[in-house]
Amino acid sequence: MLNTPTRMLLVAAIICLSAALALAQDAAPRRLALLDDAATVETLAAALDDADVVVARTAARLLPSRGEAAVSAVGAALGHTDPLVRRNAAMNLHRLGNAGIALADRALGDESELVRQGVVYSLIELPQTAEVAALVQRAQEDESALVRATAIAAARAAFTTAEAIPLPREGWLIKTDTEEVGVDEKWFAVDLDEAGWTPIAIEEFWGDRGPSSGVGWYRLQFDLPAREKPTRAQLDFQAVDESAWVWLNGEFAGEHDLGPNGWDTPFRLDVTDGLNWGGANQLTVRVLNSAMAGGIWKPVSIVILEPAD
Amino acid sequence: MRTLIAALVVLVSAGSLAVAQEVEETVQLAEPFMTEYSGEDATGEHVIALWAFNQPDPAADLSGNGHDLTLNGAEFVEGGRFGGGALRSYRGWPDVDDPHQARTAASPALTPAGAFTVEMWIQAADDLTEYPEAFLLDSKYVDDLGMQLILTRESAPHQRRLRMSLGFGNKSEAWQSDPISVEPGVWRHIAFTWDGDGTGRFLVDGSAAGGETKPGLAAIATARHPVIIGDRFGSYYHGFPGLIDQVRISNGVLEFSPAGFEMLPGRSVFMRMETASDVRFVLTNRQRQTLEGARAVFALSGLSPQVVELPPIASGERHQLSFRMDTSLRPEEYSLSATVEVPSDPPFSSTEQFDITIVPRQLPNTMPVVMWGGVQGEDHLRALRDIGFTHYIGLSCDFNAIWEANAPVAPGSPEAIAANRVRLDEALRNGMRIVSGLSPARTLRSNEEYQRVLHDGSKHEDVCGLFDRVQDFCYNVGVSMDNAYGDHPGFGAALIHTEVRGGSRPCFHDHDRAAFREYSGFDIPEAVRDMRGVHYDTIDGFPPNRVIPDDDPLYVYYRWLWRGGDGWNELHTRVHDGLPAREDFWTFHDPAVRAAKVYGSGGDVDYLSQWTYSYPDPLRIGLATEEMLQMAEGAERPDQQIMKMTQIIWYRSQTAPEPGEEAQVQTGTFADQDVRPQGTGTVDTSGRYLARWEREIPDARFITIAPMHMREAFWTKIARPIQGIQYHGIGSLLPGVTHGSYRYTHPEAKFELQRLVDSVVKPLGPTLRQVPARQSDVALLESFASEIFTRSGTYGWNGGWTGDMWLIALYAGLQPEVIFDETIEQEGLDDYKVLILPGAEVLTETLANAIQAFQDRGGIVVGDETLCPAITPDILVETHSRPREADEGRAINVEKGLALREQLDPHYARHADSSNPDVVPYVRSWGTTDYLFAVNDRREFGDYVGHHKLVMENGLPAEATLTMARGGRVYDLVNHREVETAQADGRITIARQFGPAEGLVYMVTERPIASIRLTAPQETTSGSRVTIAAEILDDAGERIDAVVPVRVDLLDPAGHAAEFSGWYGATGGGVEVNADLAINDMPGLWQIRVQELASGKTASAYLRVSAG
């Protein structure tokens, strides 16, 4: 009656269940023991080697709270094979004070984006020294969109909006990418031949000028006034329906891809180093829409940030 | 024919709000048939012919139209009805096949051109007895022309019927009267009227004696034969052995009743034992003189006659009177005879019959099955009833009239109210109830004076709920409907303000600002624009760890707004407060969780409800159900509960692509017929597979839910403590229902639903309604702070990451209880061992602290990578965007569910578990008894929509081992048998195979069911109350600590199931039925039969009922 994969799945589940029942007698109390305030660094450090990952994660979460005495153990946690053990340690590095900064520097090189994201969470809890700011800045340049977005948000928290420069509603061009060749053909190139592109306004859905389902590209040429390079500058999209990949002056600036749920969600991308102040700029946005309306349907602006007091 | 213009003030509606309507109508006066016709009645223009058989010229046509008679075997004799002459005829064949008739000359003038009336007096001779059919008048013979009036053969001693055959040229049609008494020596006046439009009626001595309407007919065809009186035109001759007098043929439909009863459209259907039980009539005196000394006699199928002495009523005038129904009579259809007795010399009476129905009362805890939509005629009503629906939407309301009056008034014209009351009768007669859809405040959207004002001062097309006038209006609507229909048990429920918040916006009237200022002590934050909140990305200085203070102004504002600051909840409450307070009347609001996750959405309505489309995963319906449970849990009224609706319609756009050009349009074959599919789809010219519905209805925008999705969604929702089930999309459920875009594309859906209702809802509903959820030790937080500061949330759609995370939890064998911020604030997290935090990016300080404390004392936190940085999860489930292909999306969730299980299992023990992630368990509890549900979610793509890969619509079999962390006995409540289990180490293990999309419910008790103790008296009299007690006992003779489903039957000596027969939930193992036997219940030996539906045990007792 059951096909082979399903039968295997069933068997696996039963085995899993049996094994779990056996473990449950031990792992749960071992974890509860760690939660006792009296649990020592040594106890917690030893728990990092526990066969049960949740026990080890609990130890990694708690270790930083033990302060400098736990630095070595936290370092060990950051080398654990389970990425969530490493993440739990990374998320709590700030509890080590300055001792945590070096570990944060190390953990930002972790192979798991979840761990690197955890580091950023820890950094935001530390005094925003130049050293910490540099780490946050490094995270903003991370290869992972998740880490970049987290770092940008973290950086923004340390800043306040000094100025917002709205990009024009009119003057944009659009082209449907039915065959999805735009990336390969570099439709984001500054000197792209824009013949065949159609004028469109933003702050409204693309209607029949974009695909009912699929990819459309927006391009905009705009000038910026001359000024000193700000401490931080971000591209602020109030909403794109539904996913967006952004290039500024030919360089990839970041993405916003939450699936269909992202249609109404604002997002920002750090473009501090990418803007051409006192000259022409070229912005390209690849928009994916899977259902209903699509497009850059809310305002876009450049936000200048200055450190908060 | 005489008429009078009569005026009468009648009350056209019942209830506490009687609507006076002055009626001015033409009253047709009765023919003076008790006297010899003279004057206009003899020679008027409407008279075609009149024969009175009086000397000196008994053959004369007294109308003056020259249709004199010739005798042909009959005789003119003395002894007529009025002391003069009469025509005597005799028996013909088989005694002697000779004519015994009087005949006219053939004349086209004797065939009426349109409506007509034929009448005569007859007096049977002794030898009519045992003679077969006797012809009274014939111009038709064997043609399809003219008319033929016959007295049929006896059906009982002296009982015959009249039969009139009319020829219409190419066919003949016949009408039969009710049985009439034709006793030898007794004069009877008989008449037949034809309205020229299909309706023929018989009257005997001025009383209605039956009739029928046959559409599509008009005037009769001109006869080629003469008019024969007292016999047939030709052989075989069938004369009438007896006397005939005063034969008249007239144009037009004449009236003979001396007084006519008209039942007002208040009530003709009653619920047993209801107290507001008058049937109201208008009596019209149709005599040409004042009706004096008369009385009206009412009798219900010969029972309990009531006599009303009538005041003098002038000719053509009307008088209102009522009959007090005895609703204690047994439930059945009755014929109410209304007789007016006229004290003339000799006295005579006229009787009319009216259909009255008494229906049984609803049994306690019957589970409503609501069609969220109207019906188109009684055929559809009956179709819904047969499927098992108990309610449907109807009853219009004139909101504008109530708004204009600014007070309770009639919610419609007298005609509209009367029509609605007829619909209520119709519903009640079929054992159903009508739900009134009342969204009064929606109707004010375009009223600029009361519209919402946005932050920039512009108007928004939605009403502001804080205006006193609007709130009063909502209350007045409720009161108006109560006054008009509240007395009628057919008015069963109200749907209040459906779909109102989706398009709403925060309002900035001065009174809105003042209300918030009074609540919070500060002004509405500047950033507020819409209902969904403000993304933290746009807020300068937002805390980097995303922990906000509890008094964050935006948080405080949005919580105030959604908990009632926008006024909607109060508007719901006001409508509810105005509506009937009857125990059997209830209100609901939907879609209740299309709102941010705070308590109170729905105001004080009795039930919250929410609709759900089953694709792509039927299990998702459980999430909205859980959200509602939490919302009701936190409602201000402590007894608020929930119902759950499944959409019968599926959006084409979510299940299949738009049609290609290759699609061949074939209309009128599939959608309009109630047929099973014949074969499946076909391959089109381009080699593309098309399901049958795609081929035949290529433009379908909404199609029918796949039956197996319906089944799985049903089991998912019924597993949870819902009080009723609802469905929407009658146009996709039944054939032939007109709906602009809903198409009937899967004929099996209605059969599937009927099976589910018959096998689960009806027998188990009264039990399941009493069993609450088991307190889960796994919580899933739908964080309000995160909703508001990330502009996210399910809003009842079950989608997004929260929906997927919820499914992952189910596939991990968890039973997560959805909780809100307020749950943690008010009740903490002590009840839980596992806390799941999907998309909980932002938390308040109180919640963050509570979650940290929960974790510090051993609780397991399951989060995702978006979780508020203040919380370090023990287990992280990474978010993902659901892929387009349904199988891939499900596989990802199952895989993540198994991974979650693997990490949780060493730390968390489930009360109930399944070895197979495809089989999802859920537990409810009552006392020491658990109710274990499980549903099979294993599915594959089918050929209905599955070929497009968006929905896996077909179920597959699965097998699973179910376990429970307890001992006890297990009973299958659907199949009514004990289940074989293995028990060891305090755990129950059940191996089970599941059919496609199959669900189950097991009752798990501490002790076995050993017997039923049935207590009932042995003797009683009809009209008495009998108390019957059934107790489900364990092996120690104690009641089972459970709500046990029980079937109780009270069978009268004829085997008819009396009122109170049906399904019960035996609370605490016992049920007591107080049966009110009716005075007209059948005496004799009654059987009382009880079956408990857990192990199937039965018990019987016998009751001797004597006539009371």
Q: Which amino acid is at B1096?
A: G
Chain B residues in contact with A20 (beta carbon < 8 A): 901-902, 905-906
Note whether A138 and A192 are same-domain residues.
no
Mind listing the pLDDT tens digit for each residue in B827-854?
Answer: 999 999 999 999 999 999 999 999 999 9
Nearest to B862 by CA among B847, B850, B851: B851
Place of tokens 């599937």: B752
ipTM for the whole predicted complex goes beyond 0.90:
no
Q: Is the pLDDT of residue B889 over 90?
A: yes
Relative to beta strand A243-248, strand A280-289 is antiparallel
Chain A residues in contact with B530 (beta carbon < 8 A): none
Contact A261 B801 (CB under 8 A): yes
- Closest CB to B545: pick one of A6, A124, A238: A124
Note whether B1024 and B1086 are same-domain residues.
yes
Q: Which amino acid is at B451?
A: Q
Check which CATH number belongs to the domain holding B187 and give it: 2.60.120.200
What pLDDT score does B378 carry?
85
**Is residue A203 within 8 Å of A238, Cβ to Cβ?**
no
Q: Is the pLDDT of residue B423 over 50?
A: yes
Q: Which amino acid is at B197?
A: D
Query: How far is CA A259 from each of CA A241, A262, B612, B813, rounded to the nearest angstrom?
Result: 9, 6, 21, 27
What pLDDT score does A305 carry?
86
- Per the structure, the complete domain to which residue A47 belongs is given by 4-157
pLDDT (average), residues B697-711: 94
Mind listing the pLDDT tens digit for each residue in B497-546?
Answer: 999 998 899 999 999 999 999 999 999 999 999 999 998 988 888 999 99
Distance from CA of B918 to the nearest CA of A (A): 9
- Domain boundary (B251, B279, B301) is at B251
Note whether B95 and B218 are same-domain residues.
yes
What pLDDT score does B673 carry?
40
Note whether B130 and B210 are same-domain residues.
yes
Nearest residue on chain B to A243, alpha-carbon basis: B881
What pLDDT score does B3 carry?
58
- Maximum Cα–Cα distance for chain A, whole Å? 73
Nearest to B614 by CA among B295, B321, B939: B939
Note whether B295 and B168 are same-domain residues.
no
The three-class DSSP label of residue A166 is strand
Distance from CA of A244 to the nearest CA of B (A): 14
Check which CATH number belongs to the domain holding A104 and give it: 1.25.10.10
Note whether B20 and B51 are same-domain residues.
no
What pLDDT score does B24 carry?
56
Note whether A145 and A82 are same-domain residues.
yes
**Is residue B535 within 8 Å of B787, Cβ to Cβ?**
no
Note whether B154 and B286 are same-domain residues.
no
Percent of chain B residues past pLDDT 90, beyond the cut: 85
- Domain boundary (A157, A187, A206) is at A157
- Domain boundary (A157, A188, A220) is at A157
What is the helix (H) or strand (E) element at residue B241, kind and residue range? none
Note whether A209 and A295 are same-domain residues.
yes
Chain A residues in contact with B874 (beta carbon < 8 A): 54, 57-58, 61
Mind listing the pLDDT tens digit for each residue in B434-460?
Answer: 999 999 999 999 999 999 999 999 999
Chain A residues in contact with B902 (beta carbon < 8 A): 16, 20
- Domain boundary (B227, B251, B275) is at B251
The three-class DSSP label of residue B952 is coil
Angle in degrees, CA B216, B220, B225, rounded to 5: 155
Any CB–CB contact under 8 A between B193 and chain A?
no
3-state helix/strand/coil string of B601-637: CCCCCCEECCEECCCCCHHHHHHHHHHHHHHHHCCCC
Note whether A84 and A199 are same-domain residues.
no
Contact A259 B856 (CB under 8 A): no
Note whether A109 and A29 are same-domain residues.
yes
Beta partners for A228? none
The three-class DSSP label of residue A137 is helix
Neighbour-count burial for B587-619, b at 16+ CB within 10 Å, e otherwise: bbbbbbbbbbbbbbbbbbbbbbbbbbbbbbbbb
Note whether A63 and A90 are same-domain residues.
yes
- Domain boundary (A126, A157, A188) is at A157
Note whether A116 and A176 are same-domain residues.
no
- Please state, in angstroms and rounded to a whole number, the distance separating the CA atoms of residues B201 and B207: 11
Mind listing the pLDDT tens digit for each residue in B197-221?
Answer: 999 999 999 888 999 999 999 999 9
**CA atoms within 13 A of residue B352's CA, in its CB half-sphere:** 16
**Other Cβ atoms within 10 Å of B229 Cβ, number:** 25
- Domain boundary (B251, B274, B295) is at B251
Note whether A146 and A245 are same-domain residues.
no
For chain A, what is the mean pLDDT? 89
Mind listing the pLDDT tens digit for each residue in B668-686?
Answer: 344 444 433 434 566 666 6
Note whether A104 and A209 are same-domain residues.
no
- Closest CB to A146: pick one of B865, B876, B958: B865
Check which CATH number belongs to the domain holding B338 and give it: 2.60.40.10
**Quick check: is B452 in a domain?**
no
Note whether A200 and A274 are same-domain residues.
yes
Note whether B14 and B62 are same-domain residues.
no
**Quick check: is B780 in a domain?**
no
* Strand arrangement of the beta sheet that strand B318-324 belongs to: B259-263, B278-285, B318-324
Mind listing the pLDDT tens digit for each residue in A156-186?
Answer: 777 788 899 999 999 999 999 988 899 999 9
Note whether A10 and A151 are same-domain residues.
yes
- Per the structure, the complete domain to which residue B1099 belongs is given by 1009-1106
- Looking at the structure of chain B, the number of domains it has is 3
Contact B903 A53 (CB under 8 A): yes
pLDDT (average), residues A253-271: 84
- Looking at the structure of chain A, the number of domains it has is 2
Percent of chain A residues past pLDDT 90, beyond the cut: 69
Return the minimum-mean-pLDDT range out of B259-268, B369-378, B470-479: B259-268
Nearest residue on chain B to A10, alpha-carbon basis: B916
Note whether B141 and B245 are same-domain residues.
yes
Residue B50 phi/psi, 5-degree rounding, is -145, 125
- Closest CB to A114: pick one of B801, B876, B908: B876
**Quick check: is B588 in a domain?**
no
Contact B872 A161 (CB under 8 A): no
Note whether B233 and B352 are same-domain residues.
no
**Quick check: is B674 in a domain?**
no
Most A CBs within 10 A among B865, B904, B907, hence the mutation to make, goes to B907
Note whether B99 and B146 are same-domain residues.
yes
* Strand arrangement of the beta sheet that strand B919-926 belongs to: B919-926, B929-936, B999-1005, B969-972, B977-978
Paired tokens of B311: 């005041």
Percent of chain A residues past pLDDT 70, beyond the cut: 92
Mind listing the pLDDT tens digit for each residue in A41-57?
Answer: 999 999 999 999 999 99
- Please state, in angstroms and rounded to a whole number, the distance separating the CA atoms of residues B93 and B41: 36
Note whether B60 and B189 are same-domain residues.
yes
| Cβ-based contacts under 8 A for chains A and B | 134
Distance from CA of A131 to the nearest CA of B (A): 18
Burial group, residue B381, by CB count within 10 angstroms (0-12, 13-18, 19+): buried
**Quick check: is B980 in a domain?**
no
Check which CATH number belongs to the domain holding A228 and give it: 2.60.120.260
CA-based R_g, chain B, Å: 37
**Quick check: is B336 in a domain?**
yes
Paired tokens of B445: 């959207």
Note whether A177 and A121 are same-domain residues.
no
For chain B, what is the mean pLDDT? 93
pLDDT (average), residues B811-818: 98
Q: Which residue has the higher pLDDT, B196 or A208?
A: B196
